[in-house]
Amino acid sequence: MSVIIKSAEDIEKMRIAGRLAAEVLEMIGPYVNPGVSTGELDRICHDYIVNVQQAIPAPLNYRGFPKSICTSINQVICHGIPSDDKILKKGDIINIDITVIKDGYHGDTSKMFFVGEGSPANQRLVEITQECLYLGIDLVKPGARLGDIGHVIQQHAESNHYSVVREYCGHGIGTVFHEDPQVLHYGRPGTGLELQAGMIFTIEPMINQGTRFNKLMKDGWTVVTKDRKPSAQWEHTILVTETGAEVLTRRQEETRFGQ
């Protein structure tokens, strides 16, 4: 495993890419309403990334992915393909996952939205999943191990009677979309890669209300829960600093990272 330690110049460009990705999530929020199609959300994000940000939507044509963002509704765990036929309805939960490339560098982030009001069960799933991400981020500092992060996420999810998806994970990121290391969302403390300042990777836990098992749909992308119960995911791109973590994709609504 070769994990790249980013230079000061790399980090400056990753800050910009991360901010742009966060801004797409902030921009799209008001459009996430009953009656809108995920195809329309894709077009709005695509046009914003290309025309306003003068950046590139990384998913488009990535390994054959046909759209510019991922939209994963209810039982879809990740990599849902936007479509004009997929209309959001009241009570849905949706993850929108944005990756932009600016000046050659990637920023990758996702969040959950409620369409109308969420059911208490879905609100709880979404909230616990966000806590899983935040608990992981709280452990990021030089000397910590990736297993520490995986463990705290797994612990929080399972103690709330949820399950952690194992087949998909966080990843190093920079000029390459998915690079080493793999960031598992389960694990044992004191194991795995030791973090060093200058590493940049995502944490992006996928947490299921039912079992952890999943299945790839015939389109070759859409991952769904095997039991068709809902799944939630939140993602940030994170820099390991000398003293802790800098969340490169922080949104304005997130006041907790003290940046």
- Contact footprint for Co ion (CB under 5 A): 97, 108, 202, 235
DSSP 132-167: HHHHHHHT-STT-BHHHHHHHHHHHHHHTT-EE--S
For 78, the 3-state DSSP assignment is: strand
Position closest to ligand MF3 via CB: 59
> Given the DSSP bridges, would you call strands 170-172 and 105-114 parallel, antiparallel or unpaired?
unpaired
Contact mark string toward ligand MF3, 59..88, x via CB under 6 A: x--xx-x----x--------x---------
- From the list 33-41, 56-64, 121-129, 184-192, the region that binds ligand MF3 by CB under 6 A is 56-64
Residue 171 counted as an annotated binding residue: yes
Handedness of CA 181, 183, 184, 190 (dihedral sign): positive
Per DSSP, the chain holds a count of helices (H) and strands (E) of 4, 15
Partner that binds at residue 59, options Co ion, ligand MF3, none, CB closer than 5 to 8 Å by kind = ligand MF3
Residue 151 counted as an annotated binding residue: no
**3-state percent helix, strand, coil for the chain, nearest multiple of 5:** 30, 25, 45
Site residues (CB under 6 A) for ligand MF3, limited to 179-208 = 204
Nearer to ligand MF3, 92 or 204 (CB): 204
Contact mark string toward ligand MF3, 93..132, x via CB under 6 A: ----x-x--------x------------------------
Partner that binds at residue 100, options Co ion, ligand MF3, none, CB closer than 5 to 8 Å by kind = none
CB 109 within 8 A of CB 25: yes
Q: Does 20 bind ligand MF3 (CB under 6 A)?
A: no
Residue 97 counted as an annotated binding residue: yes
Site residues (CB under 6 A) for ligand MF3, limited to 209-238 = 221, 235
CB 69 within 8 A of CB 96: yes
Handedness of CA 223, 135, 108, 52 (dihedral sign): positive
Residue 79 counted as an annotated binding residue: yes
For 120, the 3-state DSSP assignment is: helix
Partner that binds at residue 92, options Co ion, ligand MF3, none, CB closer than 5 to 8 Å by kind = none
How far apart CA 73 and CA 83 sit, in angstroms, is: 12
Residue 185 counted as an annotated binding residue: no
**Residues at the annotated binding site?**
79, 97, 108, 171, 178, 204, 235
Question: Which positions touch ligand MF3 (CB under 6 A)?
Answer: 59, 62-63, 65, 70, 79, 97, 99, 108, 204, 221, 235
